[in-house]
Amino acid sequence: MAAWKRESVVSVFATNESAAIGVCDVTPVHETPLWRYVKHEQNTLAWVSLIVVTFLLSRRLCSVLRLLILGYRLPGPRARAFDGRSQCLSKAQTPQMLQELLARLHQEHGPLVKVWTGPAQLLVSVKDVDILQHVFERAHDRVPVLRMALQLLYGRRSLFTSNYSKASQSRMMVAKEINGLVLRQAHISSIEVAEKMTQLGGLSKNGCHDLDCMTFSKLMAFAALGTSLYGDGYMIWPVAREFERVMMEVMEALPIWMRYSVPPLWNAKFVVFWKQCLRLRDLARELAAHGNQTSIQESEDRVEGLNILGKLLEEFVSVLFSRMGMGSSTVAEPGAAGMMSHGSLNTAGVLCNVLAQLARHPHIQTKVHNEISTISGFDKSLTETDVQKMIYLNATVLEAARLLPTVPFLQRCSDEHDIALLPGVVIPAGAILTAPIQLIQRDTVYWGDDAAIFNPDRFLKPRRIASGELASEQNQNIPHPCNFTKEPLQLNPAFLVFGAGSRSCIGSSLAVKQISILVTVILKRFELKENFDSSDAKAYENMSRSPPRLTLSPR
Ligand code: HEM
């Protein structure tokens, strides 16, 4: 047995002959044909492993060298990460700080700028819409770092985590479903949710109501998206609150752990985060099973379901008033858990900004309210075509999304190939390409001198159209959110709030439709007034303060 062990160790580092020499002074072993065969197999295995490891290491080394050489030629600060002088990126703790850093670098180095985020990790930020068009056409993969963090959450098969070759087919299928059946279902479910929420908890009876705008929007968005995706059944799910709480906690912690390219399993806080991800995955599975069992299809069951929905919403509204928590939750199968959290949080963010902007700009609120009253009177129930006719309302939703984008950066990479972006500008495979959305959405080059001002009219007027369309061939079955209305709104290629190209958001029309319906129902009953002082308001406009409190006064 001892001889066996020593022989194995020696033979890993030696040729057949030298292994024989290496073991000649070892206690002799009975040389049976079987033993000789095993010895031969061991040597072969060791050599094959050595060759494979060497090959993989040299391939990695070549790609790192390539990254360094090609990255060196791109505009931007030198790779100071090596000498430890520049910790600029590690200092950018929040998306806002990273945005500020990139704004400064773009000012110094132009529309394309590199930042070394580690000795062999390159981030390339692109602020020019025409160059971005090339990025969207050529880079289709999700960023590996992001993938690692999101895989923990949603599993390998999720659209959010996959590289394009793995994602394209399921993306097409999911997009068809979301923009077909779910979009149609969203009309009824959003109206029901909004009406229940505005009727319940004494909202309409007892005079004015002071609300935390974000909490209110989250309640609405979770309920509307949940019922649109999975039917009313999701409302009676017993662990809804836990799902939502864990989802919020995970989403808050995600940006911290996304920075690690290797999961920091030695960090106790990461282990807690990991456990939360696993819990969220379990809850999502449970949710899917529960949704399937309890989805209320039949009309009688549906009435029953709506009563339950009403009771639960009542409970949610009381939670809202006591300002204790965030509210409801959702149904999702593991693959759809990502969509549920991404969709509801972003829908809530945009809804909150629409309500806040309407409160801050009473003359725009009056215009929107007049449009709603003209198209869908007070007593008439809101039809699908009514919402499509509300051009100004839809322009208002897009404008709020533009001015205060909820996704601060778009990220892409090309896993396999270098990307020739412009003559002489080659982005090496593996580099992270990013579009700083907040900077682009307020850039006067694309939006005019009033870029920083809330003005829904800009989506109604003819604007500069860059050459070509951002929508690619793969995107033909995904309607652009600007074309949601009967009379399409002005498509500005710099409108990147929902991304663009082969990995653009597949739920943009659903989100815009839901937000428009929720706002319609709220404005029919209430007038919105802002409830914070001017310094807070300024900080909110600059995205450095959380959204405001609102006062809802019955009309
Ligand atoms: C106002 C609400 C929303 C905003 C602002 C938003 C924004 C975005 C953005 C910026 C991306 C990345 C696009 C890119 O990289 O080019 C994205 C991707 C995605 N969104 Fe949304 N989204 C919203 C709502 C939704 C909803 C309601 C759903 C579905 C129910 C959804 C499903 C997805 C999916 C599946 C992807 C990944 C697509 C892929 O990687 O191929 N989103 N979204």
Q: What is the pLDDT of residues 15-35, one digit of tens each?
A: 444 444 444 455 555 567 777
Kindly tell me if the per-residue pLDDT of 201 is higher than 80. no
Q: Kindly state the DSSP code that residue 332 receives in the 8-state scheme.
A: -
Task: Please state, in angstroms and rounded to a whole number, the distance separating the CA atoms of residues 309 and 301.
Answer: 12
CB neighbours of residue 204 within 10 Å: 15
Q: Which atom of ligand 1 is nearest to the CA of 340?
A: 30
Task: Kindly state the average pLDDT of the residues 214-234.
Answer: 76
151-554 architecture in CATH?
Orthogonal Bundle (1.10)
Q: How far is the CA of 149 from the centre of ligand 1 (A)?
A: 17
What is the per-residue pLDDT for 64? Answer: 82
Which of 544, 549, 552, 553 has the alpha carbon at shortest distance from 532? 549
Report residue 256 as tokens: 């911290």
Closest approach atom of ligand 1 to CA 500: 16
Q: For residues 181-192, give the mean pLDDT.
A: 78
User: For 359-385, how does the pLDDT look when each residue is reduced to its tens digit (9 = 90+)?
Assistant: 999 999 999 999 999 988 766 778 878
Residue nearest atom 7 in ligand 1 by C-alpha distance? 498
pLDDT computed for residue 475 by the predictor: 55
For residue 367, the SS3 value is helix
Please state the rounded mean pLDDT for residues 540-552: 77
Residue 222 Cβ contacting ligand 1 at under 6 Å? no
Please identify which residue in the block is written with the tokens 């869908």.
376
The pLDDT score that the predictor gives to residue 377 is: 76
Q: Is the CB of 402 under 6 A from ligand 1?
A: no
Cα–Cα distance, 334 to 338 (Å, whole number): 8
Give the model confidence (pLDDT) of 93-124 as tens digits.
Answer: 677 788 888 999 999 988 999 888 777 778 89
Nearest to 395 by CA among 327, 490, 282, 316: 490
Distance 161 CA to ligand 1 centre (A): 13
Which of 177, 190, 342 best tests ligand 1's pocket when mutated (most atoms within 8 Å of CB)? 342
pLDDT (0 to 100) of residue 524: 86
C-alpha span between 553 and 203 (Å, rounded): 9
**Range ranked top by mean pLDDT from 58-67, 252-261, 476-485:** 58-67
Model confidence at 10: pLDDT above 70: no
Ligand 1 pocket, 178 CB below 6 A? yes
pLDDT at 75 over 70: yes
pLDDT tens-digit readout, 429-479: 888 899 999 999 999 999 999 999 999 999 886 544 443 344 444 455 666
Name the pairing type of β-strands 121-126 and 112-118: antiparallel
Expressed in angstroms and rounded, the spacing between residue 471 Cα and the centre of ligand 1 is: 15
| Burial of residue 75 (number of CB atoms within 10 Å: 0-12, 13-18, 19+) | middle
Q: Which two tokens stand for residue 367?
A: 């215009």
Distance CA(311)–CA(412), nearest Å, equals: 44
| Helix residue ranges per DSSP H, 139-239 | 144-154, 164-177, 183-199, 213-230
Q: What is the mean pLDDT of residues 133-140?
A: 86
Reading the block at residue 52, the tokens are: 């494979």
> How many other CB atoms sit within 10 Å of the CB of residue 298?
9
- What mean pLDDT do residues 496-508 have? 89
Distance 306 CA to ligand 1 centre (A): 29
Q: Of the spans 248-252, 339-343, 414-418, 429-433, which averages the highest pLDDT? A: 429-433
Higher pLDDT, 104 or 205: 104
The residues spanned by each domain of the chain are 1-73, 151-554
> Does 277 score more than 60 pLDDT?
yes
Q: Please say if the pLDDT value at position 529 is more than 70.
A: yes
pLDDT at 221 over 70: yes
The band of 7, judged by pLDDT with boundaries at 50, 70 and 90, is very low
Tell me, using a 6 A CB cutoff, whether residue 361 lines ligand 1. no
Mean per-residue pLDDT, 217-234: 75
Distance CA 214, CA 195 (A): 18
Residue 42 pLDDT > 60 = yes
Q: Quickly list H helices, 13-87.
A: 16-22, 33-73
What local confidence, expressed as pLDDT, does residue 435 receive? 93
Rounded Cα–Cα distance for residues 93 and 11 (Å): 50
Contact of 308 with 237, CB cutoff 8 Å: no
**Residue 507 CB less than 6 A away from ligand 1:** yes
Of residues 252 and 437, more confidently modeled: 437
> What phi and psi values does residue 192 have, to the nearest 5 degrees?
-60, -50
Work out the mean pLDDT of the chain and round it to a whole number.
Answer: 73
267 versus 150: the higher-pLDDT residue is 267
Q: Is the CB of 506 under 6 A from ligand 1?
A: yes
Nearest atom in ligand 1 to the alpha carbon of residue 174 is 35
Is the CB of 513 inside a 6 Å radius of any atom of ligand 1? Answer: no
Give 70's pLDDT tier (boundaries 50, 70, 90): confident
What percent of the chain clears pLDDT 90, i.e. is strictly above it? 17
Q: What was the pLDDT predicted at 156?
A: 55
Mutate to test the pocket of ligand 1, among 178, 498, 502 (most ligand atoms within 8 A of CB): 498
Residue 492: what pLDDT?
85
Residue nearest to atom 3 of ligand 1 (CA): 346
How far apart are alpha carbons 479 and 508 in whole angstroms?
8
24 labeled part of a ligand binding site: no
Q: Find out whether the beta carbon of 171 lies less than 6 Å from any atom of ligand 1.
A: yes
Average pLDDT, integer, range 226-247: 69
**Ligand 1 site, residue 117, Cβ cutoff 6 A:** no
Cβ–ligand 1 contact at 406 (below 6 Å): yes
Ligand 1, atom nearest to 167 Cα: 41
Q: Ligand 1, closest atom to CA 349?
A: 1
CA-nearest residue for atom 28, ligand 1, is 507
| Segment among 60-69, 269-278, 535-544 with least mean pLDDT | 535-544
The predicted structure's pLDDT at residue 127: 93
**pLDDT of amino acid 303:** 39
pLDDT of 472 reads: 46
Q: Is the CB of 114 under 6 A from ligand 1?
A: no
Give which of 64, 165, 76 is closest to 121, Cα–Cα.
64
Distance, CA of 352 to chain centre: 17
Query: pLDDT at position 261, please?
Result: 61
Q: Which residue has the higher pLDDT, 158 or 12?
A: 158
Per-residue b or e along 533-551, where b marks 16 or more CB atoms closer than 10 Å to that residue's CB: eeeeeeebbebeeebbbbe
Is the four-CA dihedral 54, 56, 62, 64 of positive or negative sign? negative
Q: Which helix (H) or strand (E) holds 126?
A: strand 121-126
Per-residue pLDDT tens digits for 389-445: 889 999 999 999 999 999 888 988 887 788 888 887 888 888 889 999 999 999 999
- State ipTM: 0.99
Closest CA to ligand 1's atom 40 = 503
Atom of ligand 1 nearest to the CA of 515: 1
User: Which residues on adjacent β-strands are paired with residue 141?
Assistant: 413
Q: Of the spans 44-48, 227-231, 330-334, which averages the highest pLDDT?
A: 44-48
| % of the chain at pLDDT higher than 70 | 66
Measured from the CB, is residue 358 less than 6 Å from ligand 1?
no
Please give the pLDDT value at position 28. Answer: 56
Terminal C-alpha separation, the chain: 89
Phi first, then psi: give them for residue 158, nearest 5 degrees: -65, 145
Ligand 1 atom with the shortest distance to the CA of 136: 16
Report which of residues 317 and 499 the model is more confident about.
499
pLDDT at 351 over 80: yes
CB count in 10 Å sphere of residue 68? 16
Q: Does an H or E element contain 546, and which?
A: none
Closest C-alpha residue for ligand 1 atom 39? 503
Residue 503 alpha carbon to ligand 1 centre in Å: 9
